[in-house]
Structure 1
């Protein structure tokens, strides 16, 4: 087996495992809440802590990978994620579990920040859309099988087995990538920007934590504003640094900038769909975890089918048109979900999940292809990291918005009307997500004509 194929297989495995673990945790939330003796809406932190950790370290590790070697950082990330995943399976205290999930996110950022760069470094521009599509297909397959397999594991073996199994799968992947000897660099010999990395990490953590915990503690209200000040300091520091964390000139490319903005808003509007519907199906409609997981399989199953074809199509036609069409479809599907009640037909829910899956599949791969095709080869590492930052920050914002709205609506709820309050909150969550898709559609259409650089 060639090293090129080893890298492709390794990236496909981690592209599968990360989303699989995340969607498995989504479906296991009611069981985890019972185990930790917490309310289900408080278990949003099981997802949010992981995403905050991932988003906070993505750019630093992406830059470090360009300097020290992309394979090297990827391999170290695999080591750390294996350790933290296995610890998650054993920890008994809820706060300790959340902290380990945060460390797990930091570990996964080493993988998220390098995987795309490894792929585009190994394959030609003519194959780029197809390869990115294969990787995206693994992401959606992981999302698809996560609720289904995770529900089965949760019902019959307990939610902790999810972490045991994924930890062992990652160990196998470690030995696969360990046998790759070549490495790729984007800025070998350059200095690492420690000040910029610290500013960036603190900025992300304060913003996302402040947004997530807004209604629970008054002291966090200042955090997003402090994060904005740190953002301005970060921009200033990057402009004056001879070896910055991010070369800001990359954002002069309209296609690159608007495609990333579209990705950020897209994930902010769509990531928490599985989490919200998991609560809806189990708490409102009375499904067990396995049945709910099987039902939620519909959306990512369609995504997994459509994504490679959409990626290959974007090698021949404008990614802007294909991605914008997908965003419009998702917008309509999210607004349709705002009409959910406790008697909505499961057939209608399933059809709408498939509709959203079609839109997601049409958007993601062409949009990723537009981003990576808009930069020169020397920027592949930072472009991959920025793309991953947009994805994970968007996912964290999505969960933060759900956490915020759930806490607002359930703050005064008592046990006898808790389910009705949850259902009421879901309506406004989906309306908000649909409105976000309108903004993302505008950004997607405004990106301009793609001009692929070799």
Structure 2
């Protein structure tokens, strides 16, 4: 039973479960929205806030939670996040009003930020360099199995047990994850004794909320005004942090080319990759006549292959140059984008999704290893949180751009073959160009 006593075994169980839980909830709740809205009397506008408030809370609090973990202990913050996420899931399942549900979705987001900001940092704290890629691969497997099973298992639970069962499903997994965390008998707090910058937290939170909410409706005066104010506040946050003795985020990290260039490539990959599912979902249903269930199965190919290939990619990044492995992964993603931009045939789309799945696995694991390996131990929590922030911001801004392009190409909301193919072609060519920039940055960042 030696492996059970090894803290690395508990750490691996912990990160796999935590990595599964949060994306599972995020993806499964979308399937339950119609049922949820019918029972709680929520219209489309209020329903859109069910996933949005969670994402906003996560995006805004990732870096503060990473810094908090560096100072007070990564295991402590991670475990509290798991407990908070699990308890809020129970109360969300008991919700009797829209306001109650949205409140506990925000609490879930706070717990999610505590979890996400520490997964990579804990892996780098527990595992030696030769095993970190392997552990990151299993963490990614948990994440993408969560995304894979979210729509399918979430739909099954909603149909046969009601939407509340999605939240209750998290509880035993959360308890098991909290137990595994408690079995790790030591702590990491390399920045112990340093001050926690509350003013910086407030400034960054307000800035990001204004920027993200404003960018989502930037074509309106209201949205543009919020965006401009948010950018001004972000600049003020930067100036404040540069003069702070114990900053929330040390901007000197961006002087490290490996950290900055690979982090920006992370942003590019998620900016380009996240909207693909949205575009293909509409294309398959409107122009190939597929029903939502079959569309979901086809689109899940990508997540399923990432889940399967991630441990292999992690092992490769431990034994070979992570920079080269990440570049190969990006090249495969670019090939997928080329297929999507020039062919609308179903079998070619499936082939493109296969390429996307394998490519993302072989890019994201070594990329994470490069970013996390570029910083001192006392910044691991902040670096881990920053890496996830790059991903979340890439997803949010990538989708916001697609919304703008939809307004341009699909005038009046009509979905015709010609304009929609033009929308897809322009989007994918733009993604290809950005990914080529990311490929160059990955190869040059050393």
TM-score (norm 2): 0.87
Superposition deviation, residue 32 in structure 1: 5.7
1:325 pairs with 2:328: yes
Q: Distance in 2 between matches of 1:269 and 1:46?
A: 24
Q: 1:268-325, CA deviations, whole angstroms, 9 ceiling, x for partnerless residues?
A: 2212433444455566656555443332221112112222222222223332332223
Unaligned runs of 5+ in 2: none
1:54 is displaced (CA, Å) by 0.6
CA distance in structure 2 between the aligned counterparts of 1:26 and 1:277, rounded to whole angstroms: 17
State the Cα distance separating 1:144 from its structure 2 match: 2.1
- The corresponding residue for 2:241 is 238
Q: Which moved more, 1:113-122 or 1:442-451?
A: 442-451
Q: CA 1:134–1:235 in structure 2 vs 1: closer, same or farther (change >3 Å)?
A: same
Aligned to 1:303: 306
Question: Is 2:130–2:319's contact at 8 Å kept on the other side of the alignment?
Answer: no
Higher share of residues assigned helix: 2
CA drift of 1:134 comes to: 1.6
Q: Which runs of 5+ in 1 are unaligned?
A: none
Aligned counterpart, 1:257? 260
Q: Give distance in 2, aligned partners of 1:37 and 1:398.
A: 27
Matches within 5 A, 1:281-360: 281=284, 287=290, 289-338=292-341, 345-360=345-360
Residues 61 and 113, structure 2, Cα contact 8 Å, conserved in 1: yes
Distance 1:77 1:246 in 2: 21
Equivalenced residue count is 441
RMSD (Å) for aligned C-alpha atoms? 3.1
Work out which of the residue numbers 431, 434, 438 in structure 2 matches 1:439. Answer: 434
- Distance between the aligned counterparts of 1:123 and 1:79, measured in 2? 24
Q: How much has 1:262 moved relative to structure 2?
A: 0.5
Using structure 1 for the length normalisation, give the TM-score: 0.86
Structural mapping, 1:38-437, within 5 Å: 38=43, 45-91=49-95, 97-98=101-102, 100-215=104-219, 218-281=221-284, 287=290, 289-338=292-341, 345-405=345-405, 412-413=412-413, 417=414, 420=415, 424=419, 428=423, 431-432=426-427, 434-437=429-432
- Deviation, 1:400, is 3.2
Secondary structure, counterpart of 1:296 in structure 2: helix
2-structure distance, mates of 1:150, 1:307: 24
In structure 2, distance between residues paired with 1:339 and 1:157 = 43
SS in 1 for 2:318: coil
Secondary structure of 1:244 counterpart: coil
Matched residue SS, 2:319:
coil
1-side partners of 2:137 and 2:66: how far apart? 21
Q: Is the 8 A contact 1:320 1:444 kept in 2?
A: no
- Tell me the distance in 2 between the aligned counterparts of 1:262 and 1:188: 31
Post-superposition CA distance 1:122-154 (Å, at most 9, x none)? 111121111112211222222222233233334
